[in-house]
Chain A
Amino acid sequence: MSRPTSRPAASDPSWGERSDLDVLNRDIPRVDGPVKATGEAVYTHDVRLPDMLWARVLVHPVPRAEIESIDLEAASEMPGVVHIEALKEPGDTVRYLGDDAVLAVVAAETPDQAADALGAIVVQAKRLAPVVTPEQALEEGAPVVSRRRKADSNVGRANERGDEAVADAALAGAVAVVERTFEIPIQHHVCLETHGHVVQPAPDNDQVTVYASTQSVSGTPRGLARTLGRDASKIRVLTPHMGGGFGSKFGPGLEGALAARVANVTGRPVHLMLTRADEFAIAGNRSGSRQNLKVGADSDGRLVGLKLEADKLGGVSGGSLPGPPYIYTVTDGAAVFSKIRSVHTATDGSRAMRAPGHPQASFAMEAAVDELAYLLGMDLVDIRIRNLESAVHHRQLRRVAEEIGWADHPNRDRPGAAVNGRAVGIGFGVSVWGPGGRSSRCDVTVRPDGSVVSATATQDLGTGARTYVAAIVAEELGLTVDMVEARIGDSDLPPSVTSGGSVTTGSSAPAIKDAAHKAREGLEALLTDVLEAPVGSYVWKDGRVSVRGDASRSLPWIAVCALLREPLLAQGEFRDFLHEGRIHGAQAAKVEVDTLTGRVKVLKMVTCQDQGLPLNRLALRSQINGGMVQALSYGLLEQRVFDEQDGFLLSDNLDLYKIAGSQEIPEMVALIDDEDERPSVCGMAEAPVIPGHSAIAGAIHNACGARLTRMPFTADNVLETLYGKI
């Protein structure tokens, strides 16, 4: 969350006046759109190499077991099997459903042969108590599943902040107090391209090529160096396209290590992508939580005290939850007390997922704010504005309220009731994020023939990174986007950051800008003789350069490049004054609740989001929509289901683990907050995923008085909340 520190000098690059921009801050169709829309884009899944083997892993079906034997004999004699290997020995235990449950790896000549061989492995194992729910984990005498060394229970050390007595006293003096326990399930990332790699081995001193579906092109060589037994510089990672990550694809993982090992052992290229069922079992998730939240307000609706006790449910990992009060302010900071601990189950460890911890915190906090408003008879927007420090949030809340029709809505300060079994409600939520930026590099090459290449290792997760790699250079040199070739997704290119926490744009864009600016200065140095003006006094626009203030002294782009004797290489690096550190958003949702069936239909969602200078407004609206869609899906549909008795993961497919489809999608309005005039850029993908489900829950409450404290908002959940357990 770094703020710009160093001040730019006059000759330093800058994003310029918005009114002067010809390329950026407009709708730019993504440069890889045509290859994606025609199926020509090659993802890791699609890589086909001569002599390639197909590998699969065998995942033990339940989280805990004692392995008695793994018999590979029949499988190894199956047709086409080239390599087969057990990862556990008799006497070993499977400690959790995750990478520890991978029992074997098989590689064969065809995908079907690999699958057949997997099916022929005979495993004898003694099933142990599953420990898949927090209740099971907390039972007296429960087996310890925590990965912490010397752990003697499944409960991590509680992180306590604040003074409980001060918080209690403040709550006792509050005019209105609400206390609720919220239950938030884990969420799967469900990247449509599963995790995996294709590893092409090479003789000793040559470079190994690894195709990876990764969020970290520059980091993956290091992650595989040990397994491949060579220096990271001898490993080239390629990610021309990747089918979604959302935080789950940072390192090569066990599946990457196994692909590398099998390639090493067999000397043949290996294709190892997880199946959809594997993906649900071992590829990570957003942690769940159970939060008991108590918040008090004074008669003006100001928050005066808060207490949170929370269990993070991250399986064998810790899970994440930011401390309270989430985004909102409590008048006396000393009156906030929190006690947050992890409760471990023998299930796949949580990983980062788009704004880790934040949607969970948002769900409880926004609910409390709604309920305090109703207790005090206050407008839902007013109480938020009263308790949010940032004027940006104030204007954004007003904007989304206007767009959703708040002024004409009848239940602004109390929940409504159903008429003929139908009730309509509106809810709100806010977000913040500190996307930051850090060291990244970019090379821009201008050739005598006028062609331009902008190159950085970064990956495009679907955010539109490839497009701004070209567009930023086009803007600086007065070209159109199609005149600049963007090269990304290759670890041999100048290094870039791991895409996590919306850090990519804030890191890469300044480096690209810096490189483009240096290229421009390099060209201007050539022009001093020709157009007779010093470096820094040229205007680059519409494919021409001219001397500022004298349009008659001008050259077309192609003539400028013809002055070059050899390609001009400009190397750019991260410049902190070009990036932005903090962003804000507000959302509103409108729903219809059928109080007879419990069915919830979202009618409309609106987001207003700031982000400094928008590089590409079209891709920005896509990201905002995507945040709303994922939050809607999280709130309404997504539910991991374990068989609690035996520990089978029942929802390991897209029929039982539901995600939002087109019929769930309401009218969606993505508003870019153009009142944000900061002259710097940053990523923003985390922010819009944070409050959508909270706004939907608020809208359900606002419609009919049912405060859902448990996700997802299924029909039975709504009915039970309205009428009690049946």
Chain B
Amino acid sequence: MREMDPSSGEPSAISRRSFLKGATQVAAAGGIIGAAPASEQDAEVEPEVETLSGSASMELLVNGKSRSVEVEPRTTLLHALRNEMKPPLTGTKEVCGTGSCGACTVLIDGQPAYSCLSLAVTCAGRPITTVEGFGSADAMSDVQQSFCDKDGMMCGFCTPGFVVATHAALDRAPKASLDELKYELSGNFCRCGTYPHVFDAAQAVQKDRARGEDGR
């Protein structure tokens, strides 16, 4: 697959796979992936780049653990989590793959992000938290527990995304009003129509956390 070089109007010599080669080299040299601009410049100086196929190995810092994955430059963080990690982390869901639905929400550097729109190579060295990182069925986070108590789920396919988004929302805006919560959660779709109970769950956590602070 050839990409246009906007400056020349000609197909550029950089294919996705030659970009991969650059990333691989950087990874091999310094263990850091993500120096794409430099490798593109290199490629422009020397247009006859040999195209490599395949993937490169890199480390992702997921839920506090370093995990090694094989990725191509185009591999999204979502696919790296769901398909490349061993064992795979399938809590994060793919619903649209195009940044419309929020089912794939994770935290990158503590900020909520659509993992279907984040390339794995750009996440090297950055802490990633998935739904599995907040708790387990035996030891749930307060948000997860509240989703259960208030029935903030039906089929549950959107639920991991909502749980992560709710954690992020309550961290960013602990005292958010109901309207502000709706805004904070507006990046996530639920087809079953669980929203009212999701709002209940988020508000119950707000109350609990406020009570906890008062008690301290």
Contacts and interface: CB of A to CB of B under 8 A. Distances in A.
Contacts of B189: 192, 654, 659, 661
B148 A192 contact: no
B193 interface: yes
A621 B192 CA distance: 12
Contacts of A679: none
B79 interface: yes
Interface residues of A, number: 60
A35 interface: yes
Contacts of A596: none
A243 B82 CA distance: 17
A41 B156 CA distance: 9
B151 A622 contact: yes
Interface string B117-136: 00000000000001110111
A243 B195 CA distance: 16
A655 B157 contact: no
A37 B193 contact: no
Majority DSSP secondary structure for residues of B touching A: loop
Output the residue of A463, A623, A661, A662 with the most chain B CB within 10 A: A662
A450 interface: no
Interface residues of B, number: 64
B148 A30 contact: yes
B47 to A, nearest CB: 24
A46 B195 CA distance: 24
Interface string B135-160: 11110100011011101111111111
A626 B151 contact: no
A435 interface: no
A663 B98 contact: no
Given A111-B83, A190-B191, A627-B193, A655 B144 contact: no
A29 interface: yes
B132 A111 contact: no
B96 interface: yes
Given A29-B148, A40-B91, A112 B196 contact: no
A29 B149 contact: yes
Nearest to B89: A39
Interface in A451-492: 461-464
A663 B189 CA distance: 10
B188 interface: yes
Contact of A48 (B88, B101, B145): B88
Contacts of B57: none
A275 B155 contact: no
Interface stretch (B6-14, B25-33, B38-46, B178-186): B178-186
Contacts of B72: 112
A68 interface: no
B183 to A, nearest CB: 7
B188 A662 contact: yes
B182 A662 contact: yes
Nearest to B148: A33
Majority DSSP secondary structure for residues of A touching B: loop
Given A33-B147, A42-B90, A653-B100, A110 B136 contact: no
A688 to B, nearest CB: 9
A243 B153 CA distance: 11
Interface string A598-614: 00000000000000000
Nearest to B100: A654
B144 A38 contact: yes
Nearest to A79: B53
A625 B200 CA distance: 13
Interface string B59-90: 00000000000001011000100110001111
B107 to A, nearest CB: 14
Contact of A462 (B97, B192, B196): B192
B98 to A, nearest CB: 6
Contacts of B188: 661-662
A653 B98 contact: yes
Interface string B81-116: 011000111111111111011010000000000000
A628 interface: yes
A648 interface: no
B131 A33 contact: no
Contacts of B198: 662
A193 B140 contact: no
B175 interface: no
Contacts of A625: 193-197
Contact of A112 (B74, B94, B148, B155): B74
B20 interface: no
B151 A29 contact: yes
Nearest to A665: B195
B100 A36 contact: no
A244 interface: yes
A181 to B, nearest CB: 30
Nearest to B155: A462
Contacts of B75: 112
A38 to B, nearest CB: 5
Given A36-B153, A36-B159, A663 B136 contact: no
Contacts of B182: 662-663, 665
A655 B190 CA distance: 14
B75 to A, nearest CB: 7
Contacts of B130: 39
A666 to B, nearest CB: 9
Contacts of B101: 192, 654
B94 A45 contact: yes
Contacts of A628: 193
B154 A626 contact: yes
Contacts of B205: none
Interface string A614-625: 000011011101
A309 interface: no
Contacts of B74: 112
Given A40-B137, A462-B153, A654-B100, 16 more contacts: A33-B148, A35-B137, A45-B93, A111-B83, A191-B157, A192-B157, A193-B93, A243-B156, A244-B157, A244-B192, A622-B151, A625-B196, A629-B190, A654-B101, A662-B182, A665-B196
21 contacts: A36-B159, A37-B131, A37-B148, A39-B130, A45-B90, A112-B74, A112-B79, A192-B93, A192-B190, A192-B191, A242-B155, A244-B191, A621-B197, A622-B154, A627-B193, A629-B192, A629-B195, A654-B189, A661-B189, A662-B183, A662-B199
The 5 closest A-B pairs by CB, nearest first: A39-B91, A629-B193, A243-B157, A462-B155, A462-B154
Interface of B: 53, 72, 74-75, 79, 82-83, 87-98, 100-101, 103, 130-132, 134-138, 140, 144-145, 147-149, 151-160, 163, 181-183, 185-186, 188-199
